[in-house]
Chains A and B, each alone.
Chain A
Amino acid sequence: MLKIQDVTFGYKKNDPVLDRFSLEINEGGIYGLLGKNGTGKSTLLYLIMGLLRPQAGLVTYNGVETITRTPDLLNDMFIVPEEYNLPGISLQKYIDAIQPFYPRFDVSMMYRCLENFEMPHDINLGALSMGQKKKVYLSIALAARTHLLLMDEPTNGLDIPSKSQFRKVVAGSTDPDQIVIISTHQVRDVELLLDHVTMIEKNEVLLNTKMDQLFKDDEVINLEDVFNKLLEERK
Chain B
Amino acid sequence: MSNFDTKRFARYANFDLTINKNFYRNLALVLFFTIVGIVVFSFFMRWLTYQVSAPSLIYNDLTMTALVVMVIMQYSLHIGAGCTLHPLRNKQGRITNLTIPATNLEKYSWHVLICVFGALVVGIISVAFADLVNYLMTIAVFKDTEGVQSLFANVFANSTGAAVNNFFQQMHMSMNGQTVDPTYVSPQEAILGRILTASLFATWAHIFCTTSFYAFCNSLKYKFNIPLTYIFLQLVGFILGILMLIGMIWFTSNVERLGIDDETMRAFLENFHIYLYILGSISILAGIGFFVWAYRRYTKAQLSNRWNK
A binding-site residues for B, Cβ under 8 Å: 11, 46, 49-53, 69-72, 74-75, 77-79, 81, 83-85, 87-89, 93-94, 96-98, 100-102
Contacts and interface: CB of A to CB of B under 8 A. Distances in A.
B234 interface: no
6 contacts: A53-B302, A71-B8, A72-B1, A74-B101, A85-B90, A87-B21
A101 B15 contact: yes
Contact of B303 (A51, A87, A97, A98): A51
A52 B100 CA distance: 15
B11 interface: yes
Interface in B1-31: 1, 8, 11, 14-15, 18-22
Nearest to B14: A97
B304 interface: yes
A70 B99 contact: no
B304 A87 contact: no
A13 B238 CA distance: 36
Contacts of B94: 51
Interface residues of B, number: 27
B19 A87 contact: yes
Interface of B: 1, 8, 11, 14-15, 18-22, 90-95, 98-104, 300, 302-304
B15 A89 contact: no
A97 B15 contact: yes
B113 to A, nearest CB: 18
Contacts of A98: 15, 100
Contacts of A72: 1, 101
Given A69-B104, A72-B1, A51 B99 contact: yes
Contact of B92 (A71, A77, A85, A101): A85
Contacts of B15: 97-98, 101
B11 to A, nearest CB: 5
B22 A88 contact: yes
A91 to B, nearest CB: 12
Given A74-B100, A94-B19, 7 more contacts: A46-B303, A51-B95, A74-B102, A77-B99, A84-B92, A96-B18, A101-B11
Q: Which 10 A-B pairs have the closest CB atoms?
A: A74-B101, A75-B101, A97-B18, A51-B303, A71-B101, A87-B19, A97-B15, A101-B101, A85-B92, A100-B11
A88 B19 CA distance: 8
B96 to A, nearest CB: 9
A81 B303 CA distance: 12
Contacts of A96: 18
